[in-house]
Amino acid sequence: MEKDKRDVKIVDLFCGVGGLTCGLAKSGLNVVAGLDNDGSCQYAYEANNKAKFIQADVSSFDSHEITKLYGNSDIKILVGCAPCQTFSKQTNKYKERIHDKKWTLLQSFTAHINNVKPDIISMENVPELTNFDVFDEFKSNLEKQGYYVSYKIVDCSTYGLPQKRRRLVLLASKFGSIELIEPSKRLKKRTVKDVLKDLPPISYGESDSKDPLHRSADLSELNVRRMKQSKPGGTWKDWDASLILECHKKKSGQTYSSVYGRMEWDKPSPTMTTQFYIYGTGRYGHPEQNRALSLREGAILQTFPKNYKFIKKGEAPLFKHVGRQIGNAVPVDLGKIIGETIQKHLKHFNFQ
């Protein structure tokens, strides 16, 4: 059957600094614009991607304006990852969740879908989202609108990402069944060493002269002593008793074994959070050097290209801002896998 070549365009809601957009572009898809209410993401998004950044609150943005972004394209694709902290297992109290404005963002995504009527949809989020009615409502609405829907909870490391990160990926299409491609059986798991071994060594509080993003946060004298006694894959129980925090000596603190930990060279990293650059918030100590991860290392573990620009030339990176942008991002290579799934789907229907 002869191919019916179609013009395909994508709009990325909640785009952040462009992790998903970059991954989709790597798969050969055309992302024309990204929307996010955080204006600090604009530079990184536009400096690295051939797409327009629109600073906007997705919950109040006019769906008609989204439709206009597609122009005369034959196939419209709408993708997005609504801010997920609300649904994360780290948010313990139900009442805190339902009073969080972010709770309704998935409903805003639904409203745009109903108005824009895209042909294909991708939604990425934390696995815990499936425990809430808002997810069932999102999925049910898609089915009522005539979409074929599938979703899967994946460990990104099984797809070759150098990070153990469990994510929910939902796909929907008007054309027919669509499911996330399976990881290749021949795929080798990538480790921390595979992606970080060639970066220049730096000390805590220092940055690489050639890359200002390869910068590690400063450490107190006490945390330097703790770091020196930390073993890759070990816990704070490896320290001298005088270095252990009082809260960890209590029974309730015994379960927090990964805080103040070092990563291991020969394994994927733990999940990158928005505070991966802080030694005490998880297993974010460098496997060998006495410091926490640098911003660049966190970005690489999130599979951003090594030359991905997060700040303008001459600017100094702010840990809190850039760390949040990196930790909140959809890993680029997961975006690429989603893109490859969509490409395979389009080819199945002879649209590519």
Read off the tokens for 267.
Answer: 């394994």
Tens-digit pLDDT string for the chain (352 aa): 455 678 999 999 999 999 999 999 999 999 999 999 999 999 999 999 999 999 999 999 999 999 999 999 999 999 999 886 555 555 455 445 554 555 589 999 999 999 999 999 999 999 999 999 999 999 999 999 999 999 999 999 999 999 999 999 999 999 999 999 999 988 889 999 999 999 999 999 999 999 999 999 999 999 999 999 999 999 888 888 888 877 665 554 455 556 889 999 999 999 999 999 999 899 999 999 999 999 999 999 999 999 999 999 999 999 999 999 999 999 999 999 999 999 999 999 988 7
d(CA 117, CA 22): 24
Bridge partners for 173 per DSSP: 120, 148
What tokens does 216 get?
A: 């590690």
Distance CA 7, CA 30 (A): 9
Chain segment 111-133, per-residue pLDDT in tens: 999 999 999 999 999 999 999 99
User: Using CA atoms, how far apart are residues 34 and 352, in angstroms rounded to an integer?
Assistant: 23
Name residues whose C-beta falls within 8 Å of residue 15's C-beta, 6 or more positions apart in sequence.
21, 34, 35, 36, 41, 45, 53, 80
Which is the catalytic residue, given 22, 41, 81, 84?
84
Where are the domains positioned within the chain? 8-189+330-348, 192-328
Q: By the 8 A CB rule, do 231 and 243 touch?
A: no
84 part of the active site: yes
Cβ(30)–Cβ(10) below 8 Å: yes
* Angle, CA 263 vertex, CA 262 and CA 267 arms, to 5°: 155
Instruction: Quote the pLDDT of residue 82.
Output: 87
Distance CA 30, CA 344 (A): 15
Fold of 192-328: DNA Methylase; Chain A, domain 2 (3.90.120)
What CATH class is the domain 8-189+330-348? alpha beta
Q: Pull the structure tokens for residue 258.
A: 């990964």
